[in-house]
Chains A and B, each alone.
Chain A
Amino acid sequence: MSKRSRTHVTCTVNGDEVDFLASDDTSLLDALRDELGLTGAKEGCGTGDCGACSVLVDGRVNCSCLMFAPEAEGTDIVTVEGIAEGDQLHPLQQTFLEGAALQCGICTPGFLVSAKALLDENPDPTETEIRYALAGNLCRCTGYDKIVRSVQEAAVQLRGATR
């Protein structure tokens, strides 16, 4: 077996500058989970089909299982652990709780990150826009109904807050 090359990566994760050493063939997801101990992002498939590993990279939603860890160099990464502001939950986190948008909870981190990316860009999405924006995130428990409603409610709250 060939020796694995390792790269020293420096980036921002949830507002903190961090650095870690990762094998070049490691995914960003494995680096976040194993090197940085941020296990909020989950591996549901490892092929970019379920979205449980979703993180924001420079403000845009990505499957961290589809990125080589060294690609994170110099980027600004936000995981589910970083979307609350201190003790103040993000409106999406609050509406997911109040709207019972999670059952088992394994997909929840990915949905929250994807929904945040959507609302950051489109503060007033239609139901159809929400459904297509979240189509890269699989949930097997809820049938999506309560997730979509919770995103709608968070959008209303966020629009109210910025008005």
Chain B
Amino acid sequence: MRYAAPATVDEAQTLLSDNPGSQVFAGATDLVPQIRAGRPSPSMVVDLKRIDRLTAVTHEGGQWTIGAATPTADLTRNAEFTAAFPGLSEAAGLIGSDQIQNRSSLGGNLANASPAADSVPALIANAGQAVIASGDGTRTVPASEIATGPGRTSLAEGEFIIEFTLDDPPAGTGDAYLRMIPRTEMDIAIVGAAVRLTIADNAVSEATVVLGAVAPTAVSVPDAAAALVGASLNGGGFDDATLAAVADAASAACNPIDDKRGTIAYRQRVAGVLAKRAAAVAAERAQNGA
């Protein structure tokens, strides 16, 4: 196995096209143990962190651009980014320990295609777009279209994510991400729930609810979002009926598996709990930020 660290996107694309069976990486936090265990065994690993564009974070013209290999710690420490997307920032801050967060990235978290990836539901809830190096050029797709199943993506051989773009949220918007793990840290989510909503005139005007770890990929729950849209915030919080409707819709949208980390019944149940709790947090943020 060879290691390569290209300095530009072009160089990386050339390396990948010249070396079939190569594997790109950013943080390598999953790749190094996998290679040690003998699966996969790429002919070459291509380190994307040395490409400036892949670790750049910019905010220009009403849009954020996040290099796909940017360490998630750089996002959680970025006060302006965290103020704009508190839910996405907290989701990024839940990917493993401080050690991991100095290496892990939104690009890696998404392209690994784990159903339980913490940053993915919040990235999707915030309508993140992925700019993909493809052939000699680039293509842009919604982040929601990258993962297609556990460990599977829509990325073709030789393609990799360069960066994500996120539009500035409208005024009165808040997002939140909550996950269920048995410990307080260091676990893979059994359930994750991201909610983004916008409040106008004391009622929800727009909402997105995305769940993680309850289906082969992160799933949007339009029924839960619909339960939120139009809901009024009397005295700051949602009424019990709204929260119950969000929870029921979230639970109903789950298509989970039984595995060593959680059961189907537990995941369904807790998906509802976390969705309603995340909605409450997002609403509070939307009101405080507005």
State the A residues within 8 Å of B (CB).
2, 4-5, 7, 24-25, 27, 46-49, 51, 54, 57, 60-63, 65-68, 70-71, 73, 114, 117-118, 132-133, 135-137
Contact = CB atoms under 8 A, between A and B. Distances in A.
B80 interface: no
Given A5-B2, A136-B99, A68 B32 contact: yes
B100 interface: yes
B98 interface: yes
A71 B28 contact: yes
Given A24-B45, A46-B36, A68 B28 contact: yes
B266 interface: no
Contacts of A68: 3, 28, 32, 45, 47
Contact of A136 (B1, B3, B47, B97): B97
Contact of A66 (B3, B71, B103): B103
B30 to A, nearest CB: 9
A128 B2 CA distance: 42
B3 A51 contact: no
Interface in B49-105: 49, 71, 73, 96-100, 102-103
A102 B278 CA distance: 39
The 3 closest A-B pairs by CB, nearest first: A136-B97, A135-B185, A24-B3
B1 A48 contact: no
Nearest to A5: B2
Contact of B100 (A5, A46, A63): A63
Given A48-B96, A135-B97, A2 B1 contact: yes
A25 B1 contact: yes
Contact of B3 (A70, A118, A137): A70
B185 A66 contact: no
Given A2-B43, A67-B103, 5 more contacts: A5-B1, A27-B32, A51-B97, A70-B47, A136-B98
A48 B33 contact: yes
Contacts of A48: 29, 33, 96-97, 99-100
Contact of A5 (B3, B97, B102): B3
Q: How large is the interface on B (under 10, 10 to 19, 20 to 34, 35 or more residues)?
A: 20 to 34
A24 B47 CA distance: 12
B224 to A, nearest CB: 30
Contacts of A71: 3, 5, 28, 47, 49
Nearest to A27: B32
B3 A54 contact: no
B264 interface: no
Contact of A135 (B2, B73, B103, B186): B186
Most buried by A among B29, B32, B96, B100: B32
B142 to A, nearest CB: 30
B2 A24 contact: yes
8 contacts: A24-B3, A48-B96, A48-B99, A66-B33, A68-B28, A114-B98, A114-B99, A136-B99
B99 to A, nearest CB: 5
Contacts of B99: 48, 51, 54, 61-63, 66, 114, 136
A118 B99 CA distance: 11
Interface in B155-186: 184-186
Interface in B184-208: 184-186
B35 interface: yes
